[in-house]
Every structure is written in structure tokens, then in C-alpha cells.
């Protein structure tokens, strides 16, 4: 949104969808309640009604600050861990325009941090990640805009510029969260939580080129 303190886009959207935006000061106060987690690069956050990214953008900003503090002296590590931080941010949004705006806002935050253009390989990789991580759908029904089960990728950074991706149904992840306490936790312990798809190890260029 152009005005971060604007709480509604229209009265009709409030009536139809209950759409109200949380102001930044309140977002920051809420995130401070889990401050240590927001500042972990590899902690995963899912916002089931993400709107245009009012929560996810500040979370990404905190992750990128952690990247800078830990890896700022190495451009290679800084870039790769910045992308990994983005990989750990997830959202579901019912309205198509909000979902698109959320992807744009997150991509812009990432690009500004790395000081890259929209056509740079890092921006293209970020777009590939966000296409998978920010889903237009119904979080309660656990289905995407086409009525199919929502699927999320679990990304891992293996080091030396290589990433791994495995996809899981959102419904199974919520079951795992109730058992284990966190999404994507200890996959190997329960056969029911096997990925619906696994990918070969990928580089940034491969993610940018659509390999993901």
C-alpha cells in the first residue's frame, strides 16, 4: 500500500471480506513479542491472511538485518542468506490483487537490500520463490484459487550457493505443527508427512530460470 497507515482499501471490501490492515506500529509491537524468532534467518513465518504484506514485509526486514549483521562482510554469503531469509516467509491471501501486491512488496524489499534491478538474476530468483511462497487461496479451506490443495515449498540452504526444495500439502503441515510444534519440523519421523514433490539441488540461476 502506498500509505502504510491506511487501514482499509474500501468499505465494500471490509463488508465483503472483513479486510482491515494493521498499522505498522502495531505490527512492530506484535513482532517484538517474538523478537528472537523474527531475527532468526531460518525461522519460518506463515501469515494465513497476508494481505499486501503488512506483517511479512517487516518480518523480512528483520531477517535481512540479521543477514547483514552475520554475513555483511561476505557478499556471496550475504546474497545467498538474504534469499534464504525470503524463502522462509510464507503467506496465503484470498484476494488476487492483495496477493500480487504482497509479492511485489516483498520482492521490492529484497531487491532494495541487495541493490539489484528487477531484471537481475537475484530478483528473478526472488520472484520464483514468492510465486510459490505467497499463495492466493482460502486458508480455512486449505485450497488455492483453483480449488486445489494448497502446497508450500520447504526450502533449505545447503551452503556453497545451493538450495533444496521439497513441497508439502498445507493440510499435512498443519497436522505436523500440532504434533511437533513447528511447521517443517523433523520430517523423517512420520511417513505421513512425506513431500508431494522433491526437486534436484538448485543454484540461484536455476531458481531464477524456473527450475523451481
Rg, Å, the chain Cα set: 17
Residue 14, classed as helix, strand or coil, is: helix
Residue with cell 494481505: 51
Q: What is the pLDDT of residue 184?
A: 52
pLDDT at 95 over 70: yes
pLDDT over 70 percentage in the chain? 81
Q: What is the pLDDT of residue 173?
A: 78
pLDDT band at 172 (very low <50, low <70, confident <90, very high): confident
pLDDT at 15 over 80: no
Q: Say if residues 27 and 54 touch (Cβ distance below 8 Å).
A: yes
From the DSSP assignment, how many helices (H) and strands (E) are in the chain? 9, 7
This prediction's pTM: 0.85
Q: Where are the domains of the chain?
A: 11-208
Amino acid at each position: 500500500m502506498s500509505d502504510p497507515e491506511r487501514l482499509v482499501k474500501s468499505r465494500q471490501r471490509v463488508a465483503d471480506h472483513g479486510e482491515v490492515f494493521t498499522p505498522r506500529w502495531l505490527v512492530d509491537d506484535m513482532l517484538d513479542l517474538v523478537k528472537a524468532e523474527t531475527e532468526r534467518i531460518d525461522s519460518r513465518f506463515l501469515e494465513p491472511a497476508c494481505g499486501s504484506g503488512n506483517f511479512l514485509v517487516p518480518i523480512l526486514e528483520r531477517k535481512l538485518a540479521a543477514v547483514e549483521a552475520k554475513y555483511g562482510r561476505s557478499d556471496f554469503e550475504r546474497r545467498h542468506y538474504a534469499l534464504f531469509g525470503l524463502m522462509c516467509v510464507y503467506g496465503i491471501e484470498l484476494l488476487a490483487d492483495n496477493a500480487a501486491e504482497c509479492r511485489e512488496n516483498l520482492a521490492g524489499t529484497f531487491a532494495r537490500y541487495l541493490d539489484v534491478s528487477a531484471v537481475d538474476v537475484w530478483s528473478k530468483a526472488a520472484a520464483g520463490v514468492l510465486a510459490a511462497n505467497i499463495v492466493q487461496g482460502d486458508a480455512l479451506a486449505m485450497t488455492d484459487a483453483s480449488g486445489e490443495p494448497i502446497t508450500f515449498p520447504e526450502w533449505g540452504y545447503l551452503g556453497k550457493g545451493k538450495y533444496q526444495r521439497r513441497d508439502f500439502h498445507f493440510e499435512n503441515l498443519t497436522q505436523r505443527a500440532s504434533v511437533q510444534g513447528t511447521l517443517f519440523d523433523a520430517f523423517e519421523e512420520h511417513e505421513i508427512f512425506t513431500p508431494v514433490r522433491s526437486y534436484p539441488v538448485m543454484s540461484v540461476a536455476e531458481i531464477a530460470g524456473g527450475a523451481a
